[in-house]
Amino acid sequence: MIVSEPLLPVPLPGPLVDTAWLARRLGQPGLVVFDASVGAHRREVARIPGARLFDLDGPLSAPDSPLPHTMPTAGQVEYELRGLGLNQSDTVVFYDNAGLYSAARGWWMLRAMGFDRVAVLDGGLTAWVAAGLPEQDSAPGPAAPGDFTARPRPGMIVDSAAVLDALADPEAAVLDARAAERFHGLAPEPRPGLRGGHMPGAVNLPFTALQDEKGLLLAPGALRELFDKALAAEEEGSGAHAAAADAPRLLFSCGSGVTACVLALGATIAGYRDLAVYDGSWSEWGLPSALPVV
């Protein structure tokens, strides 16, 4: 009787991989590629060969939440990812069709569920196509059920109460990934019924600032400099988080908890370690309520 050796996990160089790294390993057993595109960025054609849809507009967001892109329960995540064929021994690479927009949300979700062999494709499908690499027009067939097991890590996905605590804590900082015009209330929110402005004491760091003109993430040293500069240049006269450049805890917000994860990815690469994403983000905070807005 021949007993097959178990597959060894595909090793990752870090939380970010480039197109050359993925192209050399595409199709290797144990490597799973997820397309985490959302909204208008989703396309039924032109995908990386073999990529499976990580549907953030569907079952990989909580179906009973009134807010968009809310983290599902651990049981729901486990059920969906097993259905997508994910195994505990696999290595995962996320990408999206907008360069670097929603792929980091999938990366953060898996890490929040205790799965660490996961990375984001730098530049996403845009970089893949620019490199002249092959595309596939059809979705892959159904995968054999996987054995992924969710093991949630508390504190990686947080609610508005945790954000309120952080805003009052000189040893923490809240960074908002929305565009500056939205942060300052100079542009309308894309979702109706939301207040304009930002949380008092929050720092604006648009997620696009972490990328170069090709949509690739900045180098680690440049990312660290960008975060340190943003934290040191907090709203003039606020007096909050004066020493935030060395803050032991950073919380990230955006419109619906998606691009906040780009900041989490950048901060991880820059060397920050105590990080959290505010799941409700402005979709919740901006609703008419007692939550403070300036």
Q: Which residues are catalytic?
A: 254
* Spatial separation of the C-alpha atoms in residues 197 and 294, rounded to whole Å: 5
- β-bridge partners, 217: 211
Going 196 to 201 to 205 to 207, the CA torsion angle's sign is negative
- Structure-token match 């073999």, residue found: 50
Among 270, 149, 147, 253, residue whose Cα is nearest residue 201: 253
Written in H, E and C, the secondary structure of the chain is CCCCCCCCCCCCCCCEECHHHHHHHCCCCCEEEEECCCHHHCCCCCECCCCEECCCCCCCCCCCCCCCCCCCCHHHHHHHHHHCCCCCCCEEEEECCCCCCCHHHHHHHHHHCCCCCEEEECCHHHHHHHCCCCCECCCCCCCCCCCCCCCCCCCCEECHHHHHHHHCCCCEEEEECCCHHHHCCCCCCCCCCCCCCCCCCCEECCHHHHECCCCCECCHHHHHHHHHHHHHCCCCCCCCCCCHHHCCEEEEECCCCCCHHHHHHHHHHHCCCCEEEECCHHHHHCCCCCCCCC
